[in-house]
Amino acid sequence: MSQPYFNPDLIESKHFYTRTKACTVLDIDPDVFDKIILTNIQSYSKKQSSADIYTGIFTGAEIKAAINKYYLSYMTNQLKDDLSTNELTDLAFRAKYSVTPAKAQSALSEPDKLQEIFQNIPVENYYPVPKGERKNR
């Protein structure tokens, strides 16, 4: 049974992956790869044709960096929403992020502190895959 999240630790930094192999290893659909990984790989050139997407070779390090870039943005937006809505009590906020709302607010302007907060979040909160986008087994 597929998990509701995927774990980038399944990708080895020094290995090479095609789009298909990365999707198989991470157990995600190609559209998820395109949305989360391909759009965030810095070495990917807009000049490449759509056929190159399917034949391109990516390093594990590129894939991991792209995942981290995507989720840093994703979690920053989620953190901003949680801070602005006041729907979470201080206790619930601490349970979710392992920091106080005041510390989280101050970390928004410092990427290193923000990354530190996100490293303490359980993997199932940090790497969610939107419902309906998991591979069917």
Reported as a single tens digit per residue, the pLDDT across 75-117 is 888 889 989 987 888 898 888 888 899 999 998 888 888 888 8
Q: Which pLDDT score is estimated for 2? A: 41
Residue spans of the domains in the chain: they are: 8-126
Q: Which pLDDT score is estimated for 11? A: 93
- Give CA–CA dist 31/29, Å, rounded: 5
Q: Which pLDDT score is estimated for 12? A: 95
Banded model confidence at residue 133, pLDDT cuts 50, 70, 90 = very low
- Give CA–CA dist 47/131, Å, rounded: 32
State pTM to two decimals.
0.70
Q: What angle do CA 47, 51, 53 make, to 5 degrees?
A: 75
Tokens of 20: 């298909």
Most confidently modeled range among 13-17, 37-41, 46-50? 13-17
Q: What percentage of the chain carries pLDDT values higher than 70?
A: 75
